[in-house]
Amino acid sequence: MSILIKGGTVVTADQSYQADVYCDEGIIQAIGKDLDVPKDCQIIDADQLLVMPGGIDPHTHMQLPFMGTVASEDFFTGTSAGAAGGTTSIIDFVIPNPQQPLMEAYNQWMEWAEKSATDYSFHVAITWWDDSVYQDMATLVNEHGVNSFKHFMAYKNAIMAEDETLVKSFSRCLELGAMPTVHAENGDLVYHLQKEILAKGIRGPEGHPVSRPPEVEGEAANRAIRIAQALNVPIYAVHVSCEESLEAITRARSEGQRVYGEVLAGHLEIDDSVYRNKDFEFAAAHVMSPPFRPKKHQEALWKGLQSGNLQTTATDHCCFCADQKAAGKDDFSLIPNGTAGIEDRLSIMWDSGVVTGRLTPNEFVAVTSTNAAKIFNIYPQKGSISVGADADIVIWDANGTRTISAKTHHQNVDFNIFEGRTVQGLAVHTLSRGNLVWTEGELRTVKGAGKYIKRPAFSSDFEAVKKQASLHEPTAVNRD
Ligand code: URQ
Ligand code: ZN
Ligand code: ZN
């Protein structure tokens, strides 16, 4: 079925203009005015609406086995909830257990993700090291389109990567043309502080942020950045939550080091007062790592986005319901870490970013879609409105409002960290590869319709760059 999006304003990361967009066979076929389209083409009236690249969430954990339980959101319900909010692609995480072969874990996650409603890709975590890991990284890059490897510097005695593993894996990433990414918290410090705080009898969720203060994140971020600098490899810091890690990124970038930073919609908008709420369920529902921070960090993070020192937004969508969070009723270190957000990221970023004047609509597109596509090497297939790109499109009502609630959201979790907030900016229609998956409040997602996105390795030699460039012929926009 071909679709003509008529009368809208196309908004990309670099320009805004009036044009119709014609999609067929999952691809954007033409952009312009008075387009010649088939008679049976479906027409979407986009008058007064914005036509933007569908959101890309580069950080989700659907149905993640973690801390003795499994995240409540699966790949179908999670990608469907994303579609309802205008997100059309996710980059999730394969997280092998220590000693588990990477390819075994990769195949397991690929099986779980087959039910996805929209497109998906995977970062692969390096949670241990031996020659097989070294070899499997090459297999993943060269045969499976993985171009990024995650390193948890936190979660000691579980999935934490020690410095030796960071050095070996970052070096391997450089050899393969892959991007190392890090969850930057010093896991040994967290472990020590958790024990210290519990021994003092502080066992409720209020202990969680005290065990992971900003300096614990700042130290790890700087350490990872310095290791990357010494090895001359780029690096991407996930969920940057505080001034201390932003400072490390900003310093490195100002010296020309290739460092990228991601910020979560939650960390931009929610502060650490949530952990002092007397209701255990409410406070525990906000337990994630790094924790929500004191208010001063939020303004710093917004400035990081506005200055270009942070390039992407994500959600770290990792859902646990109240009965799962209760595992930590008497010991906050046992509360499964994670919160939701995939359905609300774009509305939060529009309401707090564009409506307030912090971001232009073009910058909104950059930080919710295009920058992630460029950093992870899937632009312009994803993250663009251009002829030849996948027809992943959100048709956006810049003035519409909605009130966020767990009672009405499509996320498979019983809590919403943005509960009760009325936001301006919402998805009216969402297209995934040219199929309407969300339209005027109705989900039309199909289980298994999502496709795996291969992300090519980055290349340094010019011949390979020329070859890669030929894959993405510049696309003409036939606007008269
Ligand atoms: O650390 C992560 O990114 C995963 C395990 C989700 N949980 C969290 O608290 N961020
Ligand atoms: Zn993390
Ligand atoms: Zn995560």
pLDDT digits (tens, 9 = 90+) for 91-126: 999 999 999 999 999 999 999 999 999 999 999 999
How deeply is 464 buried, as exposed, middle or buried, from its count of CB atoms within 10 A (0-12, 13-18, 19+)? middle
- 288 in Cβ contact with 279 (< 8 Å): no
String of DSSP letters for 166-205 = HHHHHHHHHHHT-EEEEE---HHHHHHHHHHHHHTT--ST
Tokens of 196: 């210290």
Question: What are residue 211's DSSP bridge partners?
Answer: none
Q: What is the mean pLDDT of the chain?
A: 96
Name, in order, each residue with C-beta under 8 angstroms of 439's C-beta and a sequence gap of 6 or more.
428, 429, 430
For residue 467, the model assigns a pLDDT of: 72
Superfamily in which the 54-381+453-471 domain is placed by CATH: Metal-dependent hydrolases (3.20.20.140)
Closest CA to 393 of 119, 61, 75: 119
CA atoms of 272 and 222, how far apart (whole Å): 23
Ligand nearest, relative to CA of residue 289: 1
In angstroms, the first-to-last Cα distance of the chain is 26
- Residue % of the chain over a pLDDT of 70: 96
Of 275, 288, 315, the one to substitute when testing ligand 1's pocket (max ligand atoms within 8 A of C-beta) is: 288
Q: Which atom of ligand 1 is found nearest the CA of 64?
A: 5
* Test site for ligand 1: of 151, 183, 337, 413, most ligand atoms within 8 A of the Cβ: 337
Q: At 466, is the pLDDT very low, low, confident or very high (cuts 50, 70, 90)?
A: confident
336 ligand 1 Cβ < 6 A: no
Closest CA to 419 of 266, 275, 312: 266
Per-residue model confidence (pLDDT) at position 473: 57
| Ligand 1 atom nearest to CA at 288 | 9
User: Is the beta carbon of 183 within 6 A of some atom in ligand 1?
Assistant: yes
Phi, psi of 133 (to 5 degrees): -65, -45
Q: Is residue 289 lining ligand 1, measured as CB closer than 6 Å? A: yes
Residue nearest to atom 7 of ligand 1 (CA): 338
Instruction: Tell which atom from ligand 1 comes closest to the C-alpha of 238.
Output: 3
Establish whether residue 172 lines the binding site of ligand 1, counting it when its CB lies within 6 angstroms of any ligand atom: no
Pocket test of ligand 1: the residue of 72, 289, 332, 335 to mutate, having most ligand atoms within 8 Å of its CB, is 289
Q: Is 123 in the pocket of ligand 1 (CB under 6 A)?
A: no
Nearest CA to ligand 1 atom 4: 338
- CB-ligand 1 contact for 316 (6 Å cutoff): yes
Three-class secondary structure of residue 57 per DSSP: strand
- Cβ–ligand 1 distance for 377 under 6 Å, the answer no
pLDDT at 391 over 50: yes
Q: 459 falls in which pLDDT band (50, 70, 90)?
A: confident
pLDDT in tens, 323-358: 999 999 999 999 999 999 999 999 999 999 999 999
Q: How many whole angstroms separate alpha carbon 70 and alpha carbon 124?
A: 18
β strands within 346-477, DSSP E: 393-403, 422-432, 435-439, 442-443
Q: CB of 341 closer than 6 A to ligand 1?
A: no
User: Degrees (nearest 5) of the Cα angle 152, 176, 377?
Assistant: 80
Question: Quick check: 464 pLDDT over 80?
Answer: no
CA-angle at 195, arms to 190 and 198, nearest 5°: 120
Q: 462 pLDDT exceeds 80?
A: no
Asked if pLDDT for residue 468 goes beyond 60, the answer is: yes
Q: Does the pLDDT at position 33 exceed 50?
A: yes
Does the CB atom of residue 309 touch ligand 1 within 6 A?
A: no
pLDDT at 1 exceeding the cut of 90? no
Query: Of all atoms in ligand 1, which is nearest to the CA of residue 155?
Result: 1
Answer whether 339 contacts ligand 1 (Cβ < 6 A).
no
Around ion ligand 2, which residues have CB less than 5 A away? 183
Q: Is the CB of 318 under 6 A from ligand 1?
A: yes
Using left for φ > 0, alpha for ψ between -120 and 50, and beta otherwise, residue 383 falls in left
Task: Give, using CA atoms, the residue closest to atom 1 of ligand 1.
Answer: 289
Q: Which ligand has the minimum distance to the alpha carbon of residue 158? A: 1
Paired sense of beta strands 393-403 and 50-53, if any: antiparallel
CA distance 9 to 19: 6
Q: DSSP code of 97?
A: P
Instruction: Give pLDDT, residue 150.
Output: 99
Evaluate: CB of 288 within 6 angstroms of ligand 1. Answer: yes
